[in-house]
Amino acid sequence: MEEEKKFTHLNKEGKPQMVNVGAKKVTTRTAHAQSIVEVSEEIIKHFKGNDIQTKKGPVFHTAVIAGTMAAKKTGELIPLCHPLGLDNCTIDIHIDEQDRIIVDCHCSLNAKTGVEMEALTGATVAALTIYDMCKAFSHDITIQQTRLMSKTGGKKDFHRKGF
């Protein structure tokens, strides 16, 4: 029989709560999130040497640092997230064949709870940093999507189909 799904951040009275992970076992947890940023041709033409160069500096390098900092602060930004000490956070940014900027954030740690929110936060803030650093060239920038691509180490692993 399938377990009934419920919102874990609500108690029996429907009030918000942090999930109690005290009885869970420590396992290796991983998560991969991705953001896709569409920019104008005017911005893409500044792509040189694996980065976009602006007067503010190299966009991708700055976005990697911002995304990593954000992933480490997820527990401070999202009210019911557990504060986690990440073992690893890597952010890779590249331009795909369709001239879209792809931001991939991978997080991992050994803990009682997962790192999906950290990976999603890292990818999102990196995408926002790209927007901020490129908006002087054009405001024709769209953060298309941020989505979880995979997670491992909890009750159920998840892998987005087609990836």
User: Fold for domain 27-153?
Assistant: Alpha-Beta Plaits (3.30.70)
81, β-bridge pairs: none
Interatomic CA distance for residues 66 and 55, integer angstroms? 17
- Candidate list 87, 96, 99, 132, residue with the active-site label: 132
Is residue 51 flagged as an active site residue? no
**Sequence spans of domains, the chain:** 27-153
List Cα–Cα distances, 59 to 55, 89, 114, 129, 130, in angstroms.
10, 19, 29, 8, 6
pLDDT digits (tens, 9 = 90+) for 79-134: 999 999 999 999 999 999 999 999 999 999 999 999 999 999 999 999 999 999 99
Number of helices followed by number of strands (H, E) in the chain: 4, 8
What's the whole-model pTM score? 0.91
